[in-house]
Amino acid sequence: MDLTLLSSFLLLAVALSVANSILVVKFILETRRANSTSQEAQKLKSQNKVLQLVQAENQKIIESANEKYAKYLSDLEKEIDKKVEKLIEETSKELKSSLAKSQKDSFQIKQEAMQSINQELAQYKKEKIEMIDENIVGIMEKTLSLVLTRRLTLKDHEDLVRDALAQARAEKFLP
């Protein structure tokens, strides 16, 4: 039911109630003026019956308007509850979706960072091993010259180093 129509209905009920009250006052005043004249008394009794009928009809209209207003408020409350519930569900879905997207993005960023770090570590390790491989003969030659009193030839040193490296790799000491 439209709120304007309902307001009009309530205004009509109030106006009827006021009109009814005016008729009652008028009836009381006329009754006092009548001084118990038979014809006027009969007329007043007739008017009283009409007045009572009007009052009863007005009361029915007021009760009907009150019932319709109460039903309208109840329906409006139910409609508001449904809209609020729907809004809460939609907001919850959006929040869950945003959270899932954020988690997915965060996981992807972490994966990319780990991949980059692993690549950098592998490259660093490779460069260091190459540097050791390139300089191992010179390092070993200098170390052995300090440690050993007798000098080995470069070929002997190279053979010893290669054998040591092969053994270290076989034992998984070096990659």
Whose tokens are 């109840």? That residue is 74
* Residue type at 141 in one-letter notation: E
- Residues constituting the chain: 175
Q: What is the pLDDT of residues 135-168, one digit of tens each?
A: 777 666 666 666 665 566 778 778 878 888 788 7
User: Is residue 36 helix, strand or coil?
Assistant: coil
Residue 138's Cα: distance from chain center in Å?
69
Q: Which two tokens stand for residue 138?
A: 């010179």
pTM above 0.85, yes or no: no
Taking only the tens place, the pLDDT of each residue in 86-111 is: 999 999 999 999 999 999 999 999 99
Q: How many CA atoms lie within 13 A of 167 on its CB side?
A: 6
pLDDT of residue 45: 76
